Amino acid sequence: MSGQKSAREFTAQMSVREGRWRLYVVLMNTTERWPEHRFGRTVPTFTDRTDALSVLGFEPVPGAEWTWTEDSENPDDPASPVVLIAAIRVRSWSEVSA
């Protein structure tokens, strides 16, 4: 190997609560605060999400695609409101350029 450091990968997730969208990068096994960006009430476009990740210092892993999962606010109640969660694999720009 040439000694290049490979960038660690993380999962970025986006969800909506109280009508507002929030994008955050999940930093497991760390005490660091998870980087976060808040949007308004309109569903963020692909470009909005990519720009927000960039501001947070991340980029999608090449070939990664957004996936959407449906959940519920209260898993024990079949009439509970639906919660949509989007996710994509990302990497830190600082580690890519290191």
Residue 5 has pLDDT above 90, yes or no: no
In this predicted model, what pLDDT tens digit does every residue of 49-63 receive, in sequence order? 999 999 999 999 999
| Residues with Cβ within 8 Å of residue 58, at least 6 apart in sequence | 10, 12, 25, 35, 90, 91, 92, 93
pLDDT at 50: 96
Between 69 and 18, name the one with better pLDDT.
Answer: 69
Summarize the confidence of residues 73-84 as an average pLDDT. Answer: 87
In this predicted model, what pLDDT tens digit does every residue of 9-68 receive, in sequence order? 999 999 988 889 999 999 988 888 999 999 988 989 999 999 999 999 999 999 999 999
Residue 6 has pLDDT above 70, yes or no: no
Calculate the CA 82 to chain-centre distance: 19
The model carries a pTM of 0.81
Q: Is the dihedral of CA 34, 25, 95, 5 positive or negative?
A: positive
C-alpha span between 16 and 22 (Å, rounded): 6
